[in-house]
Chains A and B, each alone.
Chain A
């Protein structure tokens, strides 16, 4: 009864094509946006910003990027960390060469640079498939991280090999650097995430998105009915890398502030967790990218709270426990619901439609 679509007639093509066709969805979405834009900025504090909200937003963006490539176009990629590093280091280099450029523009240009890199590393996908491709994308991960670690030009010949962000402002308020207030960094990420998610959602519903899905479902059949594999696969790599690059730029400039490439963009800290986000959230689902990111970001915090604060284990043992539980949860999740949290949500919707009269 709560989630009922009866009586909601569509009388124009425009309403038929709406992203949220149902009234309930519209209400839920506007409430969410209202809370996100008008309530959270006033109540946010540094802990929520640094530990939960900003990482959640940044990883959602990365998950959307990977979901476009893996979930919609069917090309498994393990190189997410490398591409995020490209975004981060392009931001750093542009910042040093153009001190007056707006940070928003810098981040978007970094995304474009990452897209170009993504096209180059997407080229093997035209020839190889499946796990062979997955392993091949690892080449990009190792090569890019090695490049940023070993070529001093990228970190401006600093002794530590670290790159550090300088302060940049939007409308007079600093959004990067140590002085940035919590609400500013949060809102900055939020605006980018909302705009880019809408763009992604619409891209997926366009001709391009449909050809991605055709390639995913069966590439040979798609080719026969006239979907060009070259253009489709490379566009998926480009757009996916754009999102991941923007996420990497935000990760460096807004979230961490200072990074060391081998630590921050390692395969274990970025590539696998992001892949896990889209699998746990749901392959080929926008909602899934967000749910997966939320799950992966909040779980370690919850586990740490439980074990260090409640049971009183030492930090090292708790860390080992965390890894164990983390791995076990991954397995359990895959066994119980291999289609991810998005599938759970659609089952819940089905239930809500009939509730409280199931028959």
Chain B
């Protein structure tokens, strides 16, 4: 094989992997949008909050330490030195479920039957509030998250591919981050278990019923509110997984919450209401971005297409399919 072709394959492979990361965030959006019609802008901040909490539990930080120290002149920092990863993740999950419950209780309950734009603004408010609370609780410094997922280039893949190039050409094998491979594996497990859950359990059926038609679901005796709590809790869980992945890669800091903005083009590309759409949309955008960076980005001296390329790509798709690739067909009547 020629080096160009190998490079192309490497780019596509890396694109697919980073696409999986986008899909992870988009998945949380889709679940909530299907079940409650809320376009949850706070999904990215969910991921940030989960990652912050996880690090906080791991290192035994005292919540609100800065605030308490400033108000009362005390000097609290840590309770204990460290906590096993497993326990910390479990506790974070409990926290995210509690958060879902609080959100349903304090926000969603009062906003039933409002315009979608009002609900959307409320989730922006939620994003601000949660970001502030996260910073107040755990401090805003950049943290290192390590739950034992290996990272760095995959040696195995590098060695396996180095011989593929033609004799005598300079080729050093493909570079793929092990972390991304792990993310892919975890995402696949997550999606498969979600699909099984919604297909074969009673609660899963109720979930699909609510997503289909609120009124009809209510009339057969499904409690909307418990379903909403469940859905937000699942989204919180997915956010935690996304937070762990992104946090391991680039540290836990404010910019983590901006992955929500990365997930939006994935959403409009795949359709707001489709879980396969979120996955395939994420993969398409991931590959598209990486290819654009390498093959088009060279023509601009300035580079850094990544910020907007995904949006423009999604926009072009939308012009041909206004509901996204897999979204429900939009039927309008007068």
Contacts and interface: CB of A to CB of B under 8 A. Distances in A.
A2 interface: no
Given A150-B304, A218-B334, A327-B132, A132 B323 contact: yes
B121 A330 contact: yes
B87 interface: no
B120 interface: yes
A272 B70 CA distance: 31
A124 B116 contact: no
Nearest to B103: A331
B169 interface: no
From DSSP, what is the main secondary structure of chain A's interface residues? Answer: helix
Interface in B301-334: 302-305, 307-308, 311-312, 314-315, 318-319, 322-324, 330, 332-334
Contacts of A135: 264-265, 267-268, 311, 314
B107 A325 contact: no
Contacts of B117: 70, 76, 279, 283
Contacts of A127: 318-319, 322
B124 A276 contact: yes
A287 to B, nearest CB: 19
B128 interface: yes
6 contacts: A124-B319, A132-B323, A327-B129, A330-B122, A331-B106, A334-B111
Contacts of B121: 275-276, 279, 330, 334
Given A142-B308, A267-B261, A312-B70, 15 more contacts: A70-B117, A124-B318, A127-B322, A131-B268, A136-B268, A151-B302, A316-B140, A323-B132, A324-B131, A324-B133, A327-B127, A328-B125, A330-B122, A334-B122, A338-B118
B328 to A, nearest CB: 12
B293 interface: no
Contacts of A70: 117
A103 B110 CA distance: 49
B136 interface: yes
Interface of A: 70, 76, 124, 127-132, 134-136, 138-139, 142-143, 145-146, 150-151, 218, 220-221, 224, 267, 272, 275-276, 279, 283, 311-314, 316-317, 320-331, 334-335, 338
From DSSP, what is the main secondary structure of chain B's interface residues? Answer: helix
Interface of B: 39, 66-67, 70-71, 106-107, 110-111, 114-118, 120-122, 124-133, 135-136, 140, 261, 264-265, 267-268, 272, 300, 302-305, 307-308, 311-312, 314-315, 318-319, 322-324, 330, 332-334
B135 A131 contact: no
A53 B259 CA distance: 35
A272 B126 CA distance: 13
Nearest to B320: A127
A254 B107 CA distance: 40
A331 to B, nearest CB: 4
B318 A335 contact: no
Given A150-B304, A331-B125, A322 B311 contact: no
Nearest to B312: A139
Contacts of A150: 300, 302-304
A137 to B, nearest CB: 9
A262 to B, nearest CB: 10
A277 to B, nearest CB: 11
A144 B324 CA distance: 24
Contacts of B268: 131-132, 135-136
A224 B333 CA distance: 12
B128 A330 contact: yes
A221 B334 contact: yes
Given A132-B268, A320-B132, A338-B115, A331 B261 contact: no
Contact of A132 (B303, B312, B318): B318
Contacts of A323: 128-129, 131-132, 135
A316 B264 CA distance: 30
A138 B323 CA distance: 17
Contact of B135 (A130, A132, A320, A330): A320
